[in-house]
Structure 1
Amino acid sequence: MVRLKSTNAEIVEEIRVRGTVQGVGFRPTVYRLAKDCRLRGEVGNDGEGVWIYVAGKQDAIDTFVERLRVECPPLAKIEAIIRHPYEGDRIFTDFTIAESSSTSIRTEIAADAATCPACRAEIFDPFSRWYRYPFTNCTHCGPRLSIIKRLPYDRGNTSMAEFKMCPDCIRNYEDPSDRRFHAQPTACPVCGPKAWLERSDGKPITAHVFSMLDDVDAVCTLIQQGQIVAIKGLGGFHLACDATNEAVVQKLRYSKRRPDKPLALMARNINIIEKYCLVSAAERELLESPAAPIVLLQKRERDNQSDESKIQNPIAPSVAPGQNYLGFMLPYTPLHHLALKRLEIPIVLTSGNLSDEPQCIDNEDARKKLAGIADYFLFHNRDIVNRVDDSVVCIIGINSHDARNRFQILRRARGYAPAPINLPEGFKDIPPVLAMGSQLKNTFCLLRDGQAILSQHIGDLENVAASEAYKKTLDLYLSLLEHQPTAIAIDLHPEYLSTKLGKELAAANSLKLSGIQHHHAHVAACMAENNLPINAPPVLGIALDGLGYGEDGTLWGGEFLLADYRGYKRLGTFKPVAMLGGEQAIYQPWRNTYAHLKAAFGAELPPENLELLTFLKQKPLILLDQMIEKGINSPLASSGGRLFDAVAAAIGICRESCSYEGQGAIALEAIAESYILTHSEEIEGYPFTIANLEDGGQSPLPYLEPRPMWQALLEDLKQGTPQEVMAAKFHRGLANAIASMVDRIRYGEEKIDRVALTGGVFQNRLLLVEVGDRLQAMGIQVLTHGKVPPNDGGLSLGQVAIAAARSL
C-alpha cells in the first residue's frame, strides 16, 4: 500500500473504513470531503473495505472523519473507522482515487437498491441522455448483489463488464462532481444493456399494433389487453398481468400451478395503492425505501370508501383469496417505472417460475419454462449472476402502544440481503462458521469477525432445481467472501438436503460438524438479533412452527425451551398428536382434525350429530386407527402449525385439502382478526388445561391439553356458531394457554423474566400481539423478530450463533 510522508509539520494518517462501503458511492464521497477539507492523499477499495491516506492539519483530518460519518452515501453503512498515524515515503500534491487492489476479502456486499429520485426524474425527462432508458442507475441506486461475480465491487467483476462505456459515460464516471462518479453499472442507451419484446410462440411482433413508444412501453398495452408478460427484472423473471382482471389472474394461477397462495402486486405510485389498502406512515416509508420490499397492507373495506373512484377496478378476488392483507410494492427499477407509467391499475407481479421451482434468471431457461404461462417476454441482455427474490415485510401492531409496533420481515432477500447482522458481545473473535439452514424457506449463514452474513431467501429445497440453486448460491458466497469455515452447523433432521450437504462438506474438508436442534436454533436467532451477549443468562423460548426434528427422535413444533446459546432444557410442549400419513397431513388437514379428536376422546368419536363428524366417518377411519395403534406412517408431533390446521378444518376451512403449508391457519387468522377488531371485549377464549407428559421415568413434562378446547368447539358447531367467532375464541384461548404455561414454568424451579417468541406460527400477527400483551402484563420482557424472519428463513442465524458459542 502507498504511504504518505509527513511534511511541513502536518500529520499523516492511515484510515480504514469497514462496512457496506463498496458499490455505494463511498470513494467519491471521500474524494469530495477530502477536497472540501483541503487534504491530500488517496482512497481505494480492497478486500477489507476502503482505505484512505490523508495528509493535512489535525483539525482538518478530524473534521473530515466526522463529516464522513455524517455525510456517508445513502446506501452505505459504516461499521468502523480505524485511524492510525504512520510514516511514509511518498508525497502527494492532490487527492486521488486509486485502482482497487485484491487482498483478503473482509468487506460487505451491498444489496440491490431501488431507483433513486434523481435517476427516476432522468428517465422521464425528454431532454436527458437517459430518457426512457430502462437500465439507468448511479452510485445511489441500481444493481449490486444481483450482478456481482467477485470482490472488490468493480465493473470488471460484474455482469456489466461486457458493456464498454461510451465517451459520455466515461466522462460521467471520471468526474468527481458527477452523481455517476465511479458508479460501476453506469450505462446509457448508446453503450449499455438493451431490452426487447418477444412473443412466446416465436412469431414476429407487429409494432404498430401496440401504438408504443418502445418495447418496454408495449408491456403496458399488453397488460391492458389481458396478456401475461414475463419480465426479466433485477434478480429474476416475474410474471405480470392486470390485477383487476379475474379471468387473467385465474389463467395465470392455473398455468403457474399456484391455485391459492397470495400473489404479489405492484402499482405505479402510492396513490394507486391507497385506493385499495390502508397505508400508515411506517408502511409508506418501507414502500419508498431503497429496499422497496413487498409490504403486507390491510385491505380497505369497500363499505368505507366514500370516493366513487376508489371502488372502480377492484382487485380480482383470486389475487389473495381469504386474506385481509395485500402484498404491494412500488416500481424499483427504471424498467418497472417505464412499463407502469401509463397504468392506473395495479398489476400482479409474481415470481417467474412453476410452483416450487426457483425463479428463472436466464433468458433461454425462461423461454423453455415460462412459454406455457406467458404470452410475451420482455428480455434484456444484462446477465443476472445471483437470483434475488423480492423481500416481504409487514408492520406489527400499528395501533399498539408498545414496542411491538415494529417492522417484521417474512422473506429476507432483495434490498436487505446480504447486509450483515452484527452479532452481540462475545462473538467477535470466533473462527468462521457456516450454517446450512433448513429444508423450507432456506437461507444459509456465514459467520466471520462477529458478523452474520445471511444469504438471500433460497426457498424450499424439495426438488432438483431448488437444490442446485442452493448449491450454486452457496458456492458463490464462499468464493465471493473467501470464506473458509472451521465448523459447519446443520439441522438434526437427517433427510434435509441442507443437512446432507453440510455433512458432505464437513467430511470432505475435515471440519467440525455441529448438529443443532431446530427449535433451539429458532430461539437463538431471536436472541442474537435482540443483541443478547454470548454469555447471557437463559431465556424462555416459545418456538411454534410446523415441525422440527427433536433430540428424542420425535417431531416437535410447539416448544417451551429454557435456552442460552450453548444449550437448552425442554420445559413444556404442546400435546403430541399423530400426523396421519406423515406429510399428507400437511395437505389434507382433516387428517389433523381426526387425529386431534382421537387423541382427545379416545376410541370413539363424540356422539353429536355434526356435519364435521359425518364428513370424517366417510374416511377410512378403521385403517387410520390401525396406523395410529401400530405407529405406521403416523409420527407423533407436538406441532403448533398442525393444531391450527386441525381447528381450521374442524370449522370448515380448507378441510379436504390445501395447496400450501399453513393455508388453513392463515385463513383462520384472517377471519379471527376481523372479528376481534370489532368484538374484542366479548370474546372468551376456548379453555385449555395443562397436564403432565410422563417421559420415560424422568421428570414429567407439562403440556397443553386441548381436550377442553375441542369439547367447547364441538358444542359451538352444534349451536351453529359463526366461523369467525370460533376462530377468534381459538386464538384467544391459545394465547391464554401459552401465558398460563409460562406462568407455571416461571414459578417452578426456573425464574423467567425474558421470553422469546419465534417460529413460523408467530407470523400470525394476531397470536403474536395477544401472547405478547399477556406476557408483558405479567412483567416479562418479550423478544420478537425484526431483522430475520421468525420462520425457517431465520434459522441459519440461530445455527451460526449456537455453533459459535459451543466452539468456546
Structure 2
Amino acid sequence: MVVALPWEVAPTLAVGARSSALGAGRLAWLGSFAHPDEALAGLAAAAGVAPELAAVDLRPGDPAHLWAARAGLPVRAVARHHALVAATMAAHGLGPDEQVIGFAFDGGGYGPDGATWGGEVLVAGYKGFRRVAHLGYVRCVGTDRPHRIALAHLRHAGLPWDLDLAPVRACSTRERRILAGQLDSGFGCATTTSVGLLLTTIAALHGRVTAPPGAGHDVRGPVAAVPGAIAGLHGLAGGRAAGGEPYPMRGLDPGALVRAVVADVRAGVPAQAIDARVRATLVALVADQARRCARETGLDVVVLAGDVFDDPALTVEAQGNLPDLTVLAGRPPMALGRLLCAAAG
C-alpha cells in the first residue's frame, strides 16, 4: 500500500510487529512482514530507495533496536501511544507543525516511565508529546488471564475477593493466595493505565471473558491489545446497548468504576445495561478531558486513537458529545505514525 505523507521526509523505515513502513519524499510504502530484514528488502525495492533512519518502538530490549544496529542504521525510538496519535493525524492530513489533544486508549504498551500505558491524554504533534492526564495506575500480575486482571482491579478498588464474583471463582484458592501476596508486595508485578485492561475486568465481572487458551502475554511487554482486552472490547461493541447513564468516577481513578460495576453485577443488572453505562462513562471522560485541555491549550482538534475506539458506537458518541471541537478518528497503521514521529525528529 502506498499513501501520501503530509510533508516531505528523508528516507525512514519504521518497523513493527504488525506492519512496517518506508517513507521517502511525500510517499510511504506500507506492508506486513515477518522480519525487519524482509521489510527492508521489500519496501526498499518498492520505493526504489534505501532508508537512512530506522524508527522503532521505545521499549528497551525490542529486537528491532538490535536489528537496526546490525543493519548500520541510526535508530530513533518512538513511544507507542505517540505513534498511535500521529498515525491518525497523518491519515487526516495534518501538517508537520500542528498539535492535537490526543486520546490513546488501548490494551497497553510500553510507556516512557516503564509502566504499561493505555489510558493516555496527550498534547501531541509529530515532533513530540506531553502527557497531560492518564487513567490511574493499577498494579497487575501479567495480562495473560482475564480473571487475574480483574482480581488486580478489585484489589485496587479496595474490594474483597468474594466468591459471588465470576473472576474470583475462576481462581483456585492457591492461585488467589499467590496473587494476593504478589499484589501486596509488588513482586513480579507491573503497573498499567490501560483502558483495554479495565474493559477486560468489566467483561470478566459479568462473565463475558475467560482465559484464552495458550495465552502468555506479560503486562510489561508491547501488547497492542491482549486477547482478554480484545474480548472485553467486543463486549462493548456493535451499538447493542445505547443510552446508558455514566457511572460516577472520581477523576481518572478506575477504582470508582469497578466498584459501581460490581454493585450492578450483584444487583442482577443485565450485562447490556452495564455495557451501556460503561460506554457512557468513557464518553463523558473523553468530553471532560478534551474540554479541559482545549481551555488550557487553545487547541481545538481532538484525536481518538487505539483499539478501544474500534467500538463504532463509542467513537460516534464521543464525536457527537464534542460539537464545538473537531474530532478525528480511524485506525491507520501505527507504523505510519512511528515513521513520521521519527522523521520529525
Normalising by structure 2, report the TM-score: 0.88
1:562 positional shift: 0.3
Distance 1:530 1:614 in 2: 44
Post-superposition Cα deviations, 1:271-308, rounded to whole Å, max 9, x if no partner, equal xxxxxxxxxxxxxxxxxxxxxxxxxxxxxxxxxxxxxx
Q: 2:25 aligns with which of 431, 435, 449?
A: 449
- The unaligned stretches of length 5 or more in structure 1 are 1-417, 459-465, 691-703
**Contact 1:654-1:663 at 8 Å conserved across structures:** no
**Residue type of the partner of 1:773?**
G
Any idea what SS the aligned residue of 1:743 has?
Answer: helix
Post-superposition Cα deviations, 1:483-538, rounded to whole Å, max 9, x if no partner, equal 22221111111243334323432xx2xx33211111111111111111111122x2
Any idea what SS the aligned residue of 2:178 has?
Answer: helix
Distance 1:541 1:613 in 2: 33
1:526 alignment partner in structure 2: 88
Distance 1:721 1:663 in 2: 23
> What CA RMSD, in Å, does the superposition of the two structures yield over aligned residues?
2.2
1:514 and 2:76 matched: yes
**Residue type of the partner of 1:800?**
L
**Contact 1:433-1:485 at 8 Å conserved across structures:** yes
2:193 alignment partner in structure 1: 638
1:742 and 2:290 matched: yes
Distance 1:782 1:454 in 2: 25
Q: 1:558 to 1:526 in 2, by over 3 A?
A: same
Distance 2:335 2:167 in 1: 42
* Identical counterparts, % of pairs: 28
Any idea what SS the aligned residue of 1:553 has?
Answer: coil
2:160 alignment partner in structure 1: 605
Any idea what SS the aligned residue of 2:59 has?
Answer: coil
Q: 1:452 to 1:477 in 2, by over 3 A?
A: closer
**Contact 1:649-1:664 at 8 Å conserved across structures:** no
1:758 positional shift: 0.7
**Residue type of the partner of 2:15?**
M
**Contact 1:436-1:502 at 8 Å conserved across structures:** no
Post-superposition Cα deviations, 1:78-131, rounded to whole Å, max 9, x if no partner, equal xxxxxxxxxxxxxxxxxxxxxxxxxxxxxxxxxxxxxxxxxxxxxxxxxxxxxx
- The unaligned stretches of length 5 or more in structure 2 are 216-225
1:251 alignment partner in structure 2: none
Any idea what SS the aligned residue of 2:322 has?
Answer: helix
Q: 1:711 to 1:798 in 2, by over 3 A?
A: same
2:180 alignment partner in structure 1: 625
Normalising by structure 1, report the TM-score: 0.39
1:443 positional shift: 0.9
2:109 alignment partner in structure 1: 548
Distance 1:547 1:499 in 2: 20
**Contact 1:600-1:706 at 8 Å conserved across structures:** yes
**Contact 1:557-1:641 at 8 Å conserved across structures:** yes
**Residue type of the partner of 2:94?**
L
Q: 2:37 aligns with which of 448, 471, 493?
A: 471
Q: 2:136 aligns with which of 575, 580, 605?
A: 575
1:667 alignment partner in structure 2: 234
Q: 1:666 to 1:708 in 2, by over 3 A?
A: closer
1:561 and 2:118 matched: no
1:769 and 2:335 matched: no
Q: 1:489 aligns with which of 40, 45, 55?
A: 55
Q: 2:264 aligns with which of 700, 711, 716?
A: 716
1:433 alignment partner in structure 2: 12
Post-superposition Cα deviations, 1:180-211, rounded to whole Å, max 9, x if no partner, equal xxxxxxxxxxxxxxxxxxxxxxxxxxxxxxxx
**Contact 1:575-1:706 at 8 Å conserved across structures:** yes
Q: 1:755 to 1:590 in 2, by over 3 A?
A: same
1:384 alignment partner in structure 2: none
Post-superposition Cα deviations, 1:655-692, rounded to whole Å, max 9, x if no partner, equal 3446672342243124x72232xxx3xx21222221xx
Distance 2:154 2:275 in 1: 17
**Contact 2:200-2:233 at 8 Å conserved across structures:** no
1:781 alignment partner in structure 2: 326
1:606 positional shift: 6.9
Q: 1:718 to 1:421 in 2, by over 3 A?
A: same
Distance 1:554 1:710 in 2: 21
1:590 and 2:125 matched: no
1:760 positional shift: 1.8
1:615 and 2:169 matched: yes
Q: 1:630 to 1:503 in 2, by over 3 A?
A: farther
**Residue type of the partner of 2:241?**
Y
**Contact 1:653-1:667 at 8 Å conserved across structures:** no
Post-superposition Cα deviations, 1:443-495, rounded to whole Å, max 9, x if no partner, equal 1111112112112x34xxxxxxx44xx53343222234332222111111124
Q: 1:578 to 1:614 in 2, by over 3 A?
A: closer
1:594 positional shift: 0.8
Distance 1:453 1:613 in 2: 44
Any idea what SS the aligned residue of 2:113 has?
Answer: coil
Any idea what SS the aligned residue of 2:112 has?
Answer: coil
**Contact 1:648-1:655 at 8 Å conserved across structures:** no
Any idea what SS the aligned residue of 1:729 has?
Answer: helix
**Contact 2:44-2:51 at 8 Å conserved across structures:** no
How do 1:122-141 residues align onto structure 2 when only pairs under 5 Å count?
Answer: none
Q: 1:599 to 1:611 in 2, by over 3 A?
A: closer
**Contact 1:541-1:756 at 8 Å conserved across structures:** yes
1:766 positional shift: 2.0
Distance 1:480 1:711 in 2: 53
Q: 1:733 to 1:575 in 2, by over 3 A?
A: same
1:798 positional shift: 0.7
**Residue type of the partner of 2:145?**
Q
2:223 alignment partner in structure 1: none
Larger radius of gyration: 1
**Contact 2:86-2:126 at 8 Å conserved across structures:** yes
1:379 alignment partner in structure 2: none
Post-superposition Cα deviations, 1:544-601, rounded to whole Å, max 9, x if no partner, equal 1111211112211111010111111000111211231x2xx2x310111111111111
2:218 alignment partner in structure 1: none
1:752 alignment partner in structure 2: 299
**Residue type of the partner of 1:766?**
A
Distance 2:306 2:69 in 1: 25
Q: Which has the higher contact order (CA 8 A, sep 6+)?
A: 2
Post-superposition Cα deviations, 1:44-67, rounded to whole Å, max 9, x if no partner, equal xxxxxxxxxxxxxxxxxxxxxxxx
